[in-house]
Chains A and B, each alone.
Chain A
Amino acid sequence: DGGITQSPKYLFRKEGQNVTLSCEQNLNHDAMYWYRQDPGQGLRLIYYSQIVNDFQKGDIAEGYSVSREKKESFPLTVTSAQKNPTAFYLCASSIQTGVNTGELFFGEGSRLTVL
């Protein structure tokens, strides 16, 4: 089945540590995204990539980094510079060609807790 796989589902980190969240898709979508979800705040865009080897900052990129070396993969690193990293992280993808409706397909999410 086509879809987006995020791992790990739950992750605990000590303050000062970097952690990397994995996101893999087999939908053959060009564009991929990382969102952060906090209670009552909806989804906030961290980074997005419209094509391999290219990515752009979203609304809240500080303290995060990404790479896009393969079309299927878009890992997110939460660095020690992120002041409040405890959150639910969602990876998404979308078709980039043709009429772009803005429809996004999401993974199951990764819950990061900083101890």
Chain B
Amino acid sequence: QKEVEQDPGPLSVPEGAIVSLNCTYSNSAFQYFMWYRQYSRKGPELLMYTYSSGNKEDGRFTAQVDKSSKYISLFIRDSQPSDSATYLCAMSAGGGGGFKTIFGAGTRLFVKA
């Protein structure tokens, strides 16, 4: 079993839809949770960062962490064609360096105009 599971998709939605992207994990020591957005043939860029459980909102994006269920989500409201990208979840127990950051496989999202 992988430490982090993420459905690779692809996920196709119409413009304006609410998008829900999810990851599950098995390591209860994870306490830093990240979402990266990666456009085609580009490097990932950090989109959202959350520490421990709870919600964090940034514009149209909301990151949610449920440590009791070992489940994290990224919600995109009013999705736009420019949101079409691969979304990678990542998580870390912290303290040991970035080499301990574990990535999900990424979910490909297509937002149709």
Question: Which residues from chain A sit less than 8 Å from chain B, CB to CB?
Answer: 4, 6, 31, 33, 40-43, 45, 48, 50, 56, 58, 88, 90, 92-94, 96, 99-109, 111
Contacts and interface: CB of A to CB of B under 8 A. Distances in A.
8 contacts: A50-B99, A94-B97, A94-B98, A96-B97, A100-B94, A103-B49, A103-B101, A106-B45
B104 A42 contact: yes
A71 B32 CA distance: 26
Contact of B95 (A88, A100, A103): A100
A105 B101 contact: no
A42 B103 contact: yes
B98 A102 contact: yes
Contacts of A92: 43, 98
A102 B32 contact: yes
Interface in B44-63: 44-46, 49, 51
B104 A104 contact: no
B88 interface: yes
B94 A99 contact: yes
B44 A106 contact: yes
B97 A41 contact: no
Given A40-B105, A42-B106, A43-B88, A104 B41 contact: no
